[in-house]
Amino acid sequence: MKSVHLAFEVLEAVAFEPGEIGVSELANKLRTTKGTVFRHLQTLVDRGYLIQNASTQRYRVGARAYLIGRAAAERVDIIAGSQDAMRSLRDETGETVVISSLSNRGNIVMNTLIGKSSLEIGVRVGSVLEPHATAQGKAVLAFDTQGLAKQLRRRGLAGLTPHTVTDIDELERQLEAVRAQGYATAAEEMLLGISALAAPVMDDSGKTVGSIAIVGSIQNIGRQPTPEQIEAVLRAAQRVSWNLGYVGHLPFEPRGGRAPARKAMG
């Protein structure tokens, strides 16, 4: 479905462009001809997904794109089902809360709630979370059943900071620990000074569909997070999963039963 794919390429290129963009610029960004891009822009304007600035003749995203996004927000389960849990988690921990969703395009940041610290730490919605260098990535990898971890062996692990796990066997060991604990951490593995704590979110079929995480300064979320932080994240993940129809408990037991791993480490 070539033309449809191209139409969406055009839509996305314009939508994610800050400001406006013209036909020519788009054409060689998408490696096509001006004529083709022009035609696509026209139909998208027709449909209200884009609008053309009458004076500059350049294009920007339009109202209809916003409307289908709103419709989606009500129906994409992990968005609708995480609203309350996000707020609770933010209030309990004070940290920035990040929801990510696993799609065929990777583990994508879907929603965020900025923490209370005076220095605001955020993550851009829509960005792709590195599987091996983020807490969210590891939380999802550990409980994934489609063999995502296998794919990493071929690709290799890029080192983003001195703390990034670049050895695949070391990563596997960490994933084993994540499975045992029910949560994943990543301290300064993506960006120096920033740390995260994440837990997986499951849907009604028990499949891992995303994660909920807190992200903050390494000063607030330590290499070994506090039991309170862990408990709060696990509880939030459980709540969201239940909202998605997940039955039973996540691999951990948030309350009673086996306490979260809290070994006295050297």
Partner DNA sequence: ATTTTTTGTATCATAATTCGGAACATGGTT
Partner DNA sequence: AACCATGTTCCGAATTATGATACAAAAAAT
Interface residue list for a second copy (CB under 8 A): 1, 3-5, 7-8, 11-12, 15-16, 18-19, 39-40, 42-43, 46-49, 54-55, 60-73, 75-76, 78-79, 101, 103-105, 108, 110, 125-126, 205, 266
**Residue (of 141, 145, 161) closest to 153 by Cα position:** 141
CB of 2 to a second copy, least distance (A): 9
Residue 263 binds: one of a second copy, DNA, none (C-beta under 5 to 8 A by kind): none
Cα–Cα distance for residue pair 134/191, rounded to 1 Å: 10
| Contacting residue, 39, 64, 179, 207, with DNA by CB under 7 A | 39
60 lies in the binding site for DNA (CB under 7 A):
no
Cα–Cα distance for residue pair 48/71, rounded to 1 Å: 16
| Contacting residue, 4, 119, 264, 265, with DNA by CB under 7 A | 4
Q: In 10 A of CB 174, how many CB atoms?
A: 18
- Give the residue with the Cβ less far from a second copy, 128 or 152: 128
Cα–Cα distance for residue pair 235/255, rounded to 1 Å: 9
Residue 110 binds: one of DNA, a second copy, none (C-beta under 5 to 8 A by kind): a second copy
Residue 127 binds: one of DNA, a second copy, none (C-beta under 5 to 8 A by kind): none
Q: In 10 A of CB 170, how many CB atoms?
A: 12
- Which ranges of the chain does DSSP label H, i.e. alpha helix? 2-15, 23-29, 34-46, 63-75, 77-80, 83-93, 135-143, 148-155, 168-181, 227-243
CB of 43 to a second copy, least distance (A): 4
Applying CB under 7 A, the span of 51-59, 152-160, 203-211, 250-258 interacting with DNA comes to 51-59
CB 137 within 8 A of CB 130: yes
- Give the residue with the Cβ less far from a second copy, 206 or 222: 206
- Give the residue with the Cβ less far from a second copy, 10 or 236: 10
Cα–Cα distance for residue pair 5/30, rounded to 1 Å: 11
34 lies in the binding site for DNA (CB under 7 A):
yes
3-class secondary-structure state, position 217 = strand
Binding site for DNA (CB under 7 A): 1-4, 6, 22-25, 32-36, 38-41, 52, 57-58
